[in-house]
Structure 1
Amino acid sequence: MQLIGAFTALVTPFSNGQVDEERYRAFIEWQIEQGINGVVPCGTTGESATLSPAEHEKVIAICIDQVKKRVPVIAGAGSNSTAESIHLAAFAKKAGADAALLITPYYNKPTQEGLVAHFKAIAKEVSMPMVVYNVPGRTGVNVQPATMARLYKEIPEVIGAKEATADLTQISAILELCDDKFLLLSGDDFTVLPTIAVGGRGVISVVSNLVPKAFSQLCHFALQGDYAKARKLHYQMQPLCRACFLETNPIPVKLALAAMGKMEPELRLPLVPLSQENNQKLLATLKEAGLL
């Protein structure tokens, strides 16, 4: 399967402290019906950091089962522990994921050489397509363009990256150093269009949880070179992008989905509901967008 277009970083629904399988399956089905190009379970937006190992595997297995190969599934399998990343990637492969999304080790703050060693160790144990997830704002470490090129050239399993820096200079440098087969996906909803304009292939999106059809269309038009239509969608969705990052992701997007009737507004500590002021701003934006 081609990993091109709009991929939703799926929110994980909870009910009474447990993964809400019924709502999760229905939500995945709705995403596919709306024309999303692929889905990503157990990313940051799916609150993967607070899922138990058993829950992590359950969420991935449910997603793969519900999708039934209709669209690609990029399973979140990263950790700050290399050994845990290997375990999660092995499960993702066994469960039938099309690729693994592997975040750079957070908190440890490895050197660039440490990053290379980390991904080589995973690939040595689990041979499957891998997407490097670079999000310095969460992890405290940035994969430099030269390092990303090394990962791509020295590890056959590395097929691309989710680049969440929103730094078009860095994105351009990565694409300059890699060949045109490298799949660079934006990890920032605000910069999907300019990322595609310089050679990116799509997005792993938070906001597409709310508007999968619009994000899929934006990517389609941009990839086809129809920038007039792509720009119209880009600016149309900027208010939703701002609303979904009023506070820490995935707080706003999960509460937005609850307001839309897709799931319960249940978060896991240390995440807490939006402030009253920001909740009012979120609801107003959803109404303006015709989602309520």
Structure 2
Amino acid sequence: MSLRDTLKGTGVALVTPFKENQDIDFEAYDRLIDFVIHGGVEYLVVLGTTGETPTISKSEKIDILEFTYRKVGLSVPIVVGIGGNNTKEVINDIETYPLQQATAILSASPYYSKPSQEGLFRHYKLLSEAAPKPIILYNVPGRTASNIAAETTIRLANECSNIMGIKEASGNMIQCFHILKDRPSEFLVTSGDDHLALSLIAAGMDGVISVAANCFPKDFSEMVRQCLRSDFNSAKGLLFKMLHGFDLLFVENNPAGVKAVLAELGIIENQLRLPLVPLSETHHSKVKEYLESLKIYQAL
């Protein structure tokens, strides 16, 4: 089975729960994994930027990976986030992280450095040569300050056999269309934008790596499945149900909105690591109002 088939549908970019003392809360993480898998997501993305990985040490990352492998087993695929703006260090992480149970590596494009398209190509080419698992590009220029152009994505897809997909979060619909038009047949293209998921799947994307699926796994994953079946009228109803929730998740920073929702659901504590802080009281009260409107409070 191709990576495109294996990772079709909804992947959830898991948050990392913390205790009040800032230690990783593995009991809450266990509850979160149960919540999203029982909610119907197709796969997990661990150590993505939604997991606050810039604040997590390498030893903590390895602990998180090993816990996830033990917890999940072979029940759903696991994609591991490994990225950065030091190519040599990213390669070292790829070579030293426990990846035997991983399905693929999601690697965000280098942040801050703003490399040229040739620099991006060479960075990913070296990663692909070192990686024991398929590489999924992650293009999120709103955070990295550089865009992987459609032409560079297609060049990497054609010239690097171990680069097998992209999480495309540029928000540039025209760029997305060019990637979908020119991609190799087995090249995975998945959305990185919850708001645009319906539209992008309608254009041919294979699913979403979602932030919102942490909070609304049942509705979100069903919306994506309906889109993949071209049942866009049903999918639209679920999108509109969640739309204000999406707005609240990203109103200040990611994952402050997600953690506010999950705390209200009793799954995790509302704790982040600096420089991120919890959602402001004003916006947290709007989260409570939204959840009450959905009537989804329940004992967990």
**Bigger relative contact order (CA 8 A; separation at least 6):** 2
Show the 5 A alignment for 1:33-44. 33-44=38-49
Other-structure match for 2:72 = 67
Question: Which of 3, 9, 28 in structure 2 is aligned with 1:5?
Answer: 9
Other-structure match for 1:128 = 133
- Taking the aligned partners of 1:165 and 1:290, their CA distance within structure 2 comes to 33
C-alpha RMSD of the superposition:
1.3
CA shift, 1:93, in A, is 5.6
**Contact 1:93 1:128 survives alignment (8 Å):** no
Question: Which of 77, 91, 95 in structure 2 is aligned with 1:90?
Answer: 95
Q: What secondary structure does 1:11 align onto? A: coil
CA shift, 1:279, in A, is 1.4
Identity %: 39
Which aligned runs of 4 or more in structure 1 are off by greater than 4 angstroms? none
Mapped pair 1:58 → 2:63: yes
**Contact 1:175 1:182 survives alignment (8 Å):** no
Show the 5 A alignment for 1:67-216. 67-92=72-97, 94-216=99-221
Higher mean C-alpha displacement, 244-253 vs 19-28 = 19-28
- Taking the aligned partners of 2:151 and 2:210, their CA distance within structure 1 comes to 25
Other-structure match for 2:229 = 224
Aligned pair count reads 292
Q: Could you state the TM-score of these two structures normalised by the residue count of structure 2?
A: 0.94
**Contact 1:8 1:39 survives alignment (8 Å):** yes
Mapped pair 1:275 → 2:259: no
Higher mean C-alpha displacement, 164-173 vs 198-207 = 164-173
CA shift, 1:239, in A, is 1.1
Question: Which of 33, 54, 63 in structure 2 is aligned with 1:28?
Answer: 33
Q: Could you state the TM-score of these two structures normalised by the residue count of structure 1?
A: 0.96
**Contact 2:128 2:134 survives alignment (8 Å):** no
**Contact 1:61 1:95 survives alignment (8 Å):** no
